[in-house]
Chains A and B, each alone.
Chain A
Amino acid sequence: MRRLAYLWRNHRIASLAFALVAALTIGFAIRSALFAFYWSDPASRDQQVQGWMTPRYVAHSWKVPPEVMQAALGEVALPDRRRTLEDIAADRGVPLAELIFVIETEIARFRAEQAVE
């Protein structure tokens, strides 16, 4: 206690800095633990198809063959690399939500077929 009192009198800024950094560290540690806990639940891991994703990224992440994405996009081959769904929707002049809906439907259809086989 005498040490603490001494520090508070003579090194106030350093003491305050120490308390602040210690609190931040604990905060970050708790946040990491909470996030790790949250994401360990498979239910919270399910991503949604979003505008920034590319057809290849969706195929990889949802573990569906490229043909599923080709069918959803109505193309014989996947579009150029580095085109996001947002880009594709803009090219075609369709709303992004509509494109995403078609893709999600196609993935669901493929998964249902897989389940039957």
Chain B
Amino acid sequence: MTDTLADLVIHYGLTLIFTATFLSCLAVPVPTSLVMLSAGAFSAGEDLNLWACAAAALAGAVLGDQAGFALGLRFAGVLDRAKGKAALSIAKARAFTERRGGPGVFLSRWLFSPLGPYVNYIAGATGMAWARFSLWSVLGEIVWVTLYVGAGFTFADQLEAVATILSNASGAAAGLVVTLGLGAWLWRHSAPRRRRPR
């Protein structure tokens, strides 16, 4: 896996890095973290330019976020047509993104990155303000790119070690968020007709 990808990165360079980060922001399963790590590693040996790699990765990621947001926005109309209970949940989701969407977008860029693409779609579909989304998206992507390209650059000679540890850790972080979210939902729904404090 590492060797095939590294081979692709060295031969297709910036185009590949840009495409990988772009696609991964749309939930296309591309091993982007490995691509960025290899790019960083080859920059350490001066085969590639560190800043150019980082710029290509960042451009792809930010444009990918925008594409995901736009797609979500396009299908927002479908949500508007919802009635009854569904409409209520959608209204709640909108209120939530409005209140806490910013940090959510930011953290789902790098700390819980497997969740990122879905947050893009949801942010667009629930009508999060574009400027706010974009600001947090750019900030988050800067952290993501710096983290992975930087790790590749710093630990160039231990590429495989860093790749396996980072990919498992980010899986665990994203899993934890979903587990906690589901757990909270189940907890609220676990008591039959409990009197709600008002």
Q: Tell me the A residues contacting B by CB distance below 8 Å.
A: 3-4, 6-7, 10-11, 14-15, 17-18, 21-22, 24-25, 28-29, 31-32, 35-36, 39, 45, 47, 50-54, 56-63, 81-82, 84, 86
State the Cβ distance, B114 to closest chain A Cβ, in Å: 10
Is B178 part of the binding interface, using a Cβ–Cβ cutoff of 8 Å?
A: yes
State the Cβ distance, B80 to closest chain A Cβ, in Å: 26
For the complex, what is the distance from the CA of A63 to the CA of B10, rounded to whole Å? 20
For the complex, what is the distance from the CA of A57 to the CA of B2, rounded to whole Å? 14
For the complex, what is the distance from the CA of A29 to the CA of B179, rounded to whole Å? 13
For the complex, what is the distance from the CA of A28 to the CA of B112, rounded to whole Å? 13
Known contacts A11-B189, A39-B161, A57-B47; A18/B182 CB under 8 A: yes
Cβ–Cβ contact A28 & B172, under 8 A: yes
Q: Which 7 A-B pairs have the closest CB atoms?
A: A25-B175, A61-B157, A28-B172, A39-B161, A56-B45, A60-B45, A28-B171
For the complex, what is the distance from the CA of A74 to the CA of B197, rounded to whole Å? 80
Interface 9-mer from B22-30, B64-72, B139-147, B162-170: B162-170
**Chain A neighbourhood of B13, CB < 8 A:** 82
